[in-house]
Amino acid sequence: MMATTERDKSDHRVLIAEDNSKTRLFLKNQLELLGYTVAGTASNGQEAVDMVEELEPTLLIMDVKMPKKDGIEAAREISAKRILPIILITGLSSDEMANKAIEAGVFSYLVKPVTKKQLEPAIKLALARYEEFSSLKVEVSDLKDAIETRKLVEKAKGILMKRCNLSEDDAFKLLQAHSQKENKKMQEIAESIISASKLL
């Protein structure tokens, strides 16, 4: 998986969707300091959906709680039309929140208060997961099937990380290697790992 270089950063056009003007400005300033290009800012979920269509950003950072349309709903709507690395900002971290975020097509999330230190690792994770998803989408041409496959792969990665003490990247590479070795789709490999874990 390729690391994001300084030159690559400026190629990324980030859309910020946040109803709090101070947080919006903080995110804009930090992203620019990190070398990313801010394509635009939205103050509610509906505006974010519209601006994604209009600006075609390469990354979206969006708050969960926003007027008109919350971040999960907006992410779901955006992901149904196109695949975009989305980072959600939430006030509460929980398994339920993580599951809702994955189902909505979110690639990473940050817990408030967001700091500069958190921001870049979250972006790198979202972009790495986007690369993973892009390779899954090549394997599974249909968008809906690709989203379902991603959910299974995320679950299987979590099992491998826990049981084999692997990093997220290594867990994905292991899934890929098994897929190639056994000449099976990633979805099948992920399903077999999930099934096996239920027996243990």
Q: CA-CA distance, 75 to 98, in Å (whole number)? A: 13
Q: Residue 48 has what pLDDT?
A: 95
Domain membership of residue 157 as a residue range? 140-199
Mean per-residue pLDDT, 105-125: 85
With beta carbons less than 8 A apart as the criterion, state whether 29 and 38 touch: no
Is residue 69 in some structural domain?
A: yes
Please check whether residue 1 lies inside any domain of the structure: no
Judge whether 87 and 121 are in contact, CB under 8 Å: no
Residues 6+ apart with CB under 8 A from 102: 150, 151, 154
pLDDT tens profile 94-106: 667 667 777 777 8
| DSSP 8-state symbol, 79 | H
Please check the confidence at residue 6 and state whether its pLDDT lies above 50: no
Q: Are strands 59-63 and 13-17 parallel, antiparallel or unpaired?
A: parallel
13's tokens: 């056009």
Number of domains in the chain: 2
Residues 168 and 125 both lie in one domain:
no
Of 109, 134, 159, which one is at a domain's C-terminal end?
A: 134
**Those residues with Cβ within 8 angstroms of residue 69's Cβ, 6 or more apart along the chain or in another chain:** 44, 45, 46, 48, 49, 77
pLDDT digits (tens, 9 = 90+) for 60-88: 999 988 888 888 889 889 888 888 899 99
| CATH code of residue 82 | 3.40.50.2300
User: What average pLDDT does the chain have?
Assistant: 84
For residues 128 and 145, membership in a common domain is answered with no
- In this structure, the answer to whether residues 145 and 128 fall within a common structural domain is no
- Output 107 or 47, whichever has higher pLDDT: 47
The model's pTM is 0.67
